[in-house]
Chains A and B, each alone.
Chain A
Amino acid sequence: MPDALLGVDALSIAYRSAKGETRVVRDLTFRIDEGEIVGLVGESGSGKTSVALALLNYLPRGGRVVTGDIRYRDQSLLTASRRELRRIHGRRIAHIAQDPASSLNPALRVGLQLEEGMLRHLGISTAEARNRALALLEEVHLRGGERILQAYPHMLSGGMQQRICIAMALACDPDLIVMDEPTTGLDASTEAAIFDLLRELKAHRRLSVLFISHNLAAVRGMADRVVILYGGRCMEHGPTTTVFVRPLHRYTQMLLNSLPTMRGAATGDIDMPWQAARAPAEGCPFRDRCDLAQPECGQEQVLVEVAPAHGSACRRWQELPAFTVTVPNAANGGDSVPGDWNDNDVPSPPGREAVIAVRELTHRYRNSLLAAHSRATRLSLDKVSFELRAGEVLAIIGESGSGKTTMARCLVGLAQPHSGSIVVGATDVAALRRRPLAIARNLQIVFQNIAGSLHPRKRVGTILERPFLLYERRHATDDQLRDLAHSVGLRAEMLEKRSGRLSGGERQRVALARAFAPRPAVIVLDEAFSALDVSMKMKVRNLLQQKQSELSASYLLISHDLPLVRSMADRVLVLFQGWVCEVGQRRIIEAPPYHPYTETLVWSALALESLKPSTFELRPETSADTGTGAAGCRFHQRCPRKLGTICEREAPPQRQAGPDHTIACHIPVAELATLQHAEWLPRRGAEAVS
């Protein structure tokens, strides 16, 4: 075999702490050849970021490579001198960090940061560097040339910042780019656009990329080969098309099984125990979550070559139940596009009364100082009306800044609406300063920031008992607390622990248990899934569904994760800049007609699964959405289907698109449906998916 571009050989990484050394990566071997994208996939704590940092010689204090080697072409990066490393890093191996906002210096102009590396590594003149910088901007599809080079990072949107970071990484024409979760924190449409760009660059430049991510769909779309990490060990590796279609490790099977998708059924039927705090150090790290584990799994596992270039660390790979993922691609994608919306329309259960009725709710930020400087006074919520019915899951979707979190905060009383009403039961709570306990009891919330929503110094038992003390003025019995803990898969010993000592997944479950404790009628889930790993997401979703039938509660699911929404919600409400553009049954995100904004959301989500229709172009990014004039449609500046001046001048009408389905758009519903169906039907064969 020829020398790889990058070879990682039996790499082990350990961190030293007061308690001794902890190995976070063990015996990891993989290679990246020229022009190849290798995906390093793992959940939090799998050690994937440590690998990236070791490649860059940037392990934090206390961390060190214990054994193994990392070779760039024929040179070991571990024994190289500082001078040699400086020549390699930045020049030959570039890095794109997770958070573009914090990897750009806010005090320096973008141009300077972009040219810096070229001046340093290539020894070219300033003028030359400037020219190359302009060419790079072109390459990453940033229009505006000089103007962007003169800008400071904060003047650019998140997507534009990440494009700048990509341009910086490309500046010295490197052989290898290490990307550590490059799109975390970006909106789906921005994320899809960035992935498009990366695919294009790969084709043009023959780039090699180490693509580190927990986003399976993105890796499936991007990578040629994948390495699946769990507990610091390689579980399975091989070509993406093999590993993600016919996985031969139970962990990979479980991951793929629990991944909600935009097409096909989300299953989640391989039932795993809850994630333990720490994977076992010896033997198969996955064995205490594996439903097929045997005592022998405690022995040291070896990677078995199950097929050429495909390895699995499962000793029982031959006995694993058959598991095949039908990759939705151009060939079979068409079949799963639901034809007409009438076909699979599940009518909403009739006669369900509303538990919460929101009428014309308007919210604006009161800080007049800030408002004076930003674009006029944009409303964060503008006359939003909807109702949450008994026993249903209503999802509110939209990009960041769409007002969905403000909506949640208004509902639970953390934000004061400007006008409008929120009727819970028979009481309008919108204007109340302090809500009656009976209403607070019935309206629980699970926050996005799980770790922060539990008092770190209190014991789990104390936290779970509080709802009983508060709402019923009595202590909970030990049995009740134990049942509550069991219902979310926590052992009774956990009740004695302080919440600050729990793992992320355990905290999430404590937060859920606390929300369930008073048996509320409504639980608001404010991006409650966004911090969870793939496998946890499905566990928590299943738990929520089971609890729903037990308590007959309604959920208000605030999320930007469309596949998840699709796997959970009964009805969906689409918000754009605080304005409801579409509301209806779940299938409004599954089949046309869509509101044009919903369409961009859906297609961004599909694009992440490499299912993008070929004729549709996402609008290029603008630096900021300028506020709209008083009258027109809010979405007209970004709308791919804008009709003309009517969209700028007149507010769109509310059109009935079916039973329980409203679209606010100037384009008639039937026309939308035709247009959007057409997007899928022709040219499907042309779009090949890697």
Chain B
Amino acid sequence: MKALAKDPLFVVALAVLTLHVVLALLATHVAPYPFDQMHYDAAMKPPSTTYWFGTDRYGRDVFSRVLYGGQITLAFGFGAVAVCFLVGLPAGLIAAYFGGIVDQVIMRIMDVLMSFPTLLLGLLILIIAGPNLVNLILAVGLVYCPRTTRVVRSAALAVRQSTFIEAAQVRGERAPYIIVRELLPCAWGPIIVEFCIRLGYAILLGASFNYLGLGVQPPAADWGALVQEARSYMVRAPWTVIFPIIFISTLVASLHLLGDALDEWLKEGDVA
């Protein structure tokens, strides 16, 4: 853990991520205005001391909307990844441990899911199920779970070959014990990295759906929807687009960097 605390990339990434989470959690207290309060006399105003990030065409405070949007963005990000891992973690571990026909069945199903373009599959699910936050989470989770399964499987497969797995089998251990207590602890590295990176991807994909109007419905808006709303007048009022974009990109970048740093650290831990 010491080495990790010294890694400047990790520290910065963690600080940025923490800031995002804290801002989202405390949005109600930090935000100067409700996210849907309109100020007709101050539409399309550039950033000022009253409106830090400026206002949109209905005179809504962009800063407040970005903060509230963060709640939605983070909620569906974590939600979608939770769905991913709920499916992918057991599926990947089981496929890797048992191999053979079990592996074939699980992985071929995942292949079929993965052969659809991500956006199209998501669109299909959202159009059938109807656009709302819960469905959005399920859709993104489902679209990405084959990828998570693959990562978990290959991480576990590398450990599967180890002699200590054979030693456990000879000892007479049952499969669930071996999977959870022997296989998983040695496969954490790539899995944690997958979690961070998948979170980044999920947020981006969620933002895409929101941008297409298939996510949360107005007046609520996540960062993707904020960009979409502002699209038509972004030349006249660029601040309406720039701030949500900065928030999305710093969040995703921090997640990726965090994943990289953790990966590096776990690898070193194995060597020592």
Report the Cα distance A458→B185, complex, angstroms: 9
Which of B162, B163, B167, B185 is packed against the most chain A CB atoms within 10 Å? B167
CB-CB < 8 A to A435: which residues of B? 172
- Is the pair B171, A466 in contact by a Cβ cutoff of 8 Å? yes
**Are A440 and B171 neighbours in the complex by a CB distance under 8 Å?**
yes
Q: Is A414 an interface residue (CB 8 A)?
A: yes
The B-contacting residues of A in range 406-430, CB under 8 angstroms, are 412-414
Is A457 at the interface (CB under 8 A from chain B)? yes
Residues of A with C-beta under 8 A to B162: 452
A457 touches B185 (CB 8 A): yes
Report the Cα distance A456→B169, complex, angstroms. 17
Interface residues of B in 65-108 (CB under 8 A from A): none
**Would you call B5 an interface residue if the criterion is a C-beta within 8 Å of the partner chain's C-beta atoms?**
no
Contact with B along A440-479 (1 / 0, CB 8 A): 1101110101001111111000000011001100000000
Partner of A414, one of B170, B172, B186: B170
- Across the interface, which residues of B come within 8 angstroms of A500, CB to CB? 270
Contacts between the two chains (Cβ within 8 Å), count: 49
Q: Is B172 in contact with A445, judged by CB distance below 8 angstroms? A: no
Does A414 contact B169, Cβ atoms closer than 8 Å? yes
Given contacts A457-B185, A457-B186, contact A452 B170 (CB under 8 A): no
Q: How large is the interface on A (under 10, 10 to 19, 20 to 34, 35 or more residues)?
A: 20 to 34
| Nearest chain A CB to B70 CB, angstrom units | 36
User: Given A452-B162, A455-B182, A447–B270 Cβ distance below 8 Å?
Assistant: no
Residues of A within 8 A of B171 (CB): 440, 444, 466-467, 470
4 nearest A-B residue pairs (beta carbon): A440-B172, A452-B163, A453-B163, A412-B170
On chain A, the residues within 8 Å of B270 by CB distance are 456, 500
Partner of A452, one of B164, B172, B173: B164
Inter-subunit contact B169/A413 (CB<8 Å): yes
CB distance from B248 to the nearest CB of A (A): 36
User: Distance (Å) between the CB of A517 and the closest chain B CB?
Assistant: 10
- In the complex, the answer to whether A440 meets B163 with C-beta atoms within 8 Å is no
Q: When each residue 167-184 of chain B gets 1 if its CB lies under 8 Å from chain A and 0 otherwise, what string results?
A: 101111100000000100
Please tell me which one of the listed residues A443, A444, A455 contacts residue B186 in the complex, with CB atoms under 8 A apart: A455
Interface centre among A437, A455, A457 (most CB of B within 10 A): A455
Beta-carbon contacts under 8 Å, A374-422 to B? 412-414
A412 contacts across to B, CB distance below 8 A: 170
When C-beta atoms are compared, the residue in chain B nearest to A458 turns out to be B185
B111 beta carbon closer than 8 Å to chain A: no
Q: Can you list 26 A-B contacts (CB < 8 A)?
A: A414-B169, A436-B172, A437-B172, A440-B170, A440-B171, A444-B171, A445-B167, A445-B170, A447-B163, A447-B167, A452-B163, A453-B163, A453-B164, A454-B167, A455-B164, A455-B182, A456-B164, A456-B186, A456-B270, A457-B185, A457-B186, A458-B185, A466-B171, A467-B171, A470-B173, A471-B172
Partner of A413, one of B170, B185, B186, B272: B170
Task: Please report the C-alpha to C-alpha distance between residue A440 and residue B167 in the assembled complex, in whole angstroms.
Answer: 11
Which chain A residue shows the least CB distance to B186? Answer: A457
Q: Do B185 and A455 have beta carbons less than 8 Å apart?
A: yes
